[in-house]
Structure formats: structure tokens, C-alpha cells
Amino acid sequence: MAFPIKDTSTIRADDGPVTVKGWVQDIRNLGGISFLIVRDRHGTVQVTAPKKKVDAEVFARLASLPRESAVSISGEVKPSDQTELGLELIPQALEVLSEAATPLPLGVVDKVNVEFDTRLNNRPMDLRRPEVRTVFELKSLLRHLLDEAMAVEGFTEIHTPKIVASGAEGGATLFEVGYFGRSSYLAQSPQLYKQMVMSSGLDRVYEIAPAFRAEKSNTVRHVSEFLSFDGEMAWIDSQRDIMDVMERVMQHTIAGIKDKGARQLELLEKEVELPKAPYPVLTYSQCLDMLNSEGMELAEGEDLGTEGERLIGELMSDKGNDMYWIMEYPAEEKPFYIMEKEGTPYSHSFDLDYRGQEISSGGQREHRYDVLLKRMEDKGLDPVSFNDYLEAFRYGMPPHGGWGIGVERLLVKMLDLGNIREAILFPRDMHRLAP
């Protein structure tokens, strides 16, 4: 019988021979007896090899194994009051599945502080550490919870092209790629496509897919490739309709992480709080006043900035609000597809902030063809290069709006990870293209 180590609690000492497959995390040779700690994705088990009781060849091989070798060990389970599991394995047979080279590029259990770059350079070994790897189990759970929540809201999952002819989020962050002698770009977001679909009758759609940004900023929250969770819905009365859906989706997801991710959260020693709902709403102008009364000197129309966002986060947390909206940013700051708030310099936009950081932006879109064309021109864009997009607005485009959520930013805030790269298996940024 082979058992994953997580199931050791169900193994009794009289269960007969068992097989454990895993990595040799540690070996202690005390002459007459050797102790091995074998680890799989679930945990560790102690293999106790008394020289007198174990086959000589098996003993010699066990005692000389390099750490992190992949092995399969069969033997008898015995009760033990010396081990955490209350049992140990007395080996009878050993198969070395893959011997580890020495020295290891990175210690797996050593408590030595290693530079993050060294960890990323040796990512597969880095991921052998349970606390590093577990984040990705939670990311996978998060992904499923989003699907679940979107199904309840009646959304259809779509897949839009990632090789595109024009950018939607400004020229500065476009990655150009050759395309059969023409130039094309990696999609910065599914923005233009999810909007085009709004003219089709698929009136509630979402996509969870990579988005690419040639971000020249080297920060803990920017990467060149991230997972974007986008939603778009039609026939809305205002952006409030979108925000209501988002709130329910966020609450479902965070509650699900707390509940279904309890084992992983315990391993990470993290507690996730369910944000207080409904999320409070601040306007951009209110934020400006709040920040300026805290000693910042922001002019009307100016971006709140990382520091401003952080400070608002602190002020909101003091009132017990982890998640909150910031609405009505200046229209000038927002992309061409966002609807202006008529007669004001503001827009029908929102950001969703989570403890001092923007995790999402969105808003109501400009669905009126002529107004959209004018907004594009005002922003110095050439409508000709958006021809296919604009066509979808000419034959009856319903009022619509949506959002884009950075999945890793959401996870980083939920788990308080400190760097977005902790939530990406193989991160891409200005300086990193490998592994």
C-alpha cells in the first residue's frame, strides 16, 4: 500500500507494510541507527533505520543518500512517541528514484535568509518549501472560487485574443511582437474585445487570462505578465450595478479561501479577514481632501499615487474597512473607453482598493458612438486604428461596463505577501525573462 503522507493519521501501526514516496529532507547518521525525514507535498514522515534490523545494503544506501533525493521506501509502520505523527517507518526496501546532485542550489529547510533573486533563479527548488508552494494551492482555489461566483451571477466565460493589432491601455506599456511581417502586440487587457461582445447578446462575460504590460517600473506590485480577471456586463443603469456584482464575487471568494483554504492558511500562519460589506464608497475628491488634510499637497486632477493610496488604506482600516471603492476619477486620467460624468471634469469610473492598494479598476463605458469617437480624438488617438472596435458601436450598443482585477494583487493583499512575485510561479519583469 502506498500512502500520501497527509494520510498518515489514518495509518495504524498494525497496518502492515507501506510505501512512502518523497524527497529526503534530512538524514542523521548515529552509527548504529539512521534517521531520515521524508517529505511529500503533504508533510513529512520519519524513517528510522536501526543497523541491526535493516538489510545491510538498504542501510548503507540510506545512510549515504544526498538530501533532496527522490526515493520510494517500503517498510513497517511502528508507533513512536518521538515523532510528531506518532509513528515511524522501519525500512525494508529502498528505491532511489532520482539522486540529488550536491551541493543544492538552495536549502529547502535551512532557515537561512536567501535573496529573493536567488530564490527565483532556482524556482523549482524554492517551491519545494511548503510555505512558498502553498500560495499556489490557494491561487488555484481562488481561480475556482471566481468561476463559482461568476456562474452564480450568470456570467459566461470567454477567451479573447492575446495577440492583438492595437493596444487598449496606452502605448507606453505595449510589447510589440512580429506577426508574419506585420507588427502586433501582446494584449494588455481584453478591454476592446469584452466590450465588442457587449453588442452581441452575450451580455455578462468574464475572462481570467494573462495580461501583458511592458511596465518599466521595478516595484513589488508591477510585473510584465499578470493574471487578469475581467468582467463586462450590459444593460446597466449605472456603474453601481457592476460594483454590486463585484462585491458579491469578492465576498464569496474571500469567504471560500477562509473556509476551503483553512489547511493552507494554517500552514502559512495567515488569517484572512472577510472585508466588511457593503464596501464604503469614497470619491476621488473626498480622497484628495483626506490626503491634503493629512499634510499631502495634491492638486486637483493629480494622481493619488502609491503613497496616497497607502494612506487612504490606513485611514479606512482604522474604521474597520479593508475593501473600499474610490469613484469618479478625473476623466482626463482615465482611458478613452470610460464614460465622462457630464458637466463635470470627472468620470463614471471606480477603483477597488484593498488595504491601501488598488486591486481593480473599471467603470461604465462610453457606449454612444459619436461621443466615443470624440473622446478618442480628444485623447489624441486615431480612430482608424480602432476601426473593428468602433464598428461594434454603430448598430445598437447597450449601455455597459466592467472591471479588471489583478488576481495576484488580490492574493498578495489577502495573504499579506509583500511582493507580487510571491504569487507568480515564474515571474516576468523588466529584469527577468528566465527561468
| Cβ-proximal residue to ligand AMO, closest one | 406
Give yes or no for a contact between 25 and 11, defined as CB atoms under 8 angstroms apart.
no
**Among all residues, which ones are annotated catalytic?**
213, 215, 221-222, 358, 361, 409
CB of 297 to ligand AMO, least distance (A): 25
Nearer to ligand AMO among residue 22 and residue 190 (C-beta): 190
Q: How far is the CB of 65 from ligand AMO (least distance, A)?
A: 42
Kindly tell me which of 130 and 404 has the beta carbon lying closer to ligand AMO. 404
The correct pick among 49, 223, 272, 411 for binding ligand AMO (CB under 6 A) is 223
Q: How many CB atoms lie within 10 A of CB 217?
A: 11
Sign of the CA dihedral 71, 85, 125, 420?
positive
Asked whether position 213 contacts ligand AMO by CB under 6 A, the answer is: yes
Question: Whole-number minimum distance, CB 309 to ligand AMO, in Å?
Answer: 11
Rule CB under 6 A: say whether 429 interacts with ligand AMO.
Answer: no
CA 297 – CA 312 distance, rounded (Å): 14
Tell me how far, at minimum, the Cβ of 339 lies from ligand AMO, in Å. 11
* 215 contributes a contact to ligand AMO by CB under 6 A: yes
Kindly state whether residue 222 participates in binding ligand AMO, applying the rule CB under 6 A: yes
Distance, CA of 336 to CA of 168 (rounded, Å): 9
Output the nine-digit C-alpha cell for 94: 529502498
**Is 226 an interacting residue with respect to ligand AMO (CB under 6 A)?**
yes
Task: List phi, psi (to 5°) of 48.
Answer: -110, 120
The answer to whether the beta carbons of residues 231 and 246 sit under 8 Å apart is: yes
Q: What b/e readout covers 189-208, taking b as 16+ CB neighbours within 10 angstroms?
A: bbbbbbbbbbbeeebbbbbb
CB 203 within 8 A of CB 234: yes
**Using rule CB under 6 A, residue 54 touches ligand AMO:** no
Contacts to ligand AMO from residues 158-187, by CB under 6 A: 169
Please name the residues in contact with 327: beta carbons below 8 A apart, sequence gap of 6 or more: 239, 281, 282, 283, 284, 349, 350, 351
Cell of 2: 502506498
Q: Are 10 and 59 in contact (CB under 8 A)?
A: no
Q: Which is nearer to ligand AMO, 15 or 303 (CB)?
A: 303
- Sole window of 82-90, 154-162, 215-223, 312-320 interacting with ligand AMO (rule: CB under 6 A): 215-223
**Three-state DSSP class for residue 50:** strand
Binding mask of the shown chain, residues 368 to 407, with x at each position contacting ligand AMO by CB under 6 A = ----------------------------------xxxxx-
Per-residue contact track with ligand AMO, 123 to 162, x per CB under 6 A? Answer: ----------------------------------------
Q: Are 412 and 222 in contact (CB under 8 A)?
A: no
Cα separation, 314 vs 308, whole angstroms? 10
Q: Least distance in Å: CB of 201 to ligand AMO? A: 20
How many residues of this chain interact with ligand AMO, rule: CB under 6 A? 22
> In this chain, which of 88, 126, 358, 422 binds ligand AMO, going by CB under 6 A?
358
With respect to ligand AMO, which residue has the nearer C-beta, 147 or 169?
169
Pairing of strands 17-29, 349-354: unpaired
Sole binder of ligand AMO in the list 91, 362, 399, 427 (CB under 6 A): 362
* Residue 250 in grid coordinates: 469578492
**Is residue 228 a contact residue for ligand AMO (CB under 6 A)?**
yes
Mention every residue, 6+ apart, whose C-beta is less than 8 A from residue 118.
106
User: Does residue 360 belong to the site contacting ligand AMO (CB under 6 A)?
Assistant: yes
Nearest distance from residue 236's CB to ligand AMO, in Å?
13
Q: Which of 142, 359, 417, 423 binds ligand AMO (CB under 6 A)?
A: 359
- Those residues with Cβ within 8 angstroms of residue 17's Cβ, 6 or more apart along the chain or in another chain: 1, 74, 75, 76, 92
User: Does residue 422 interact with ligand AMO by CB under 6 A?
Assistant: no
Nearer to ligand AMO, 8 or 188 (CB): 188
Provide the binding-site residues for ligand AMO, judged by CB under 6 A. Answer: 169, 189, 191, 213, 215, 222-223, 226, 228, 230, 358-362, 402-406, 409, 420
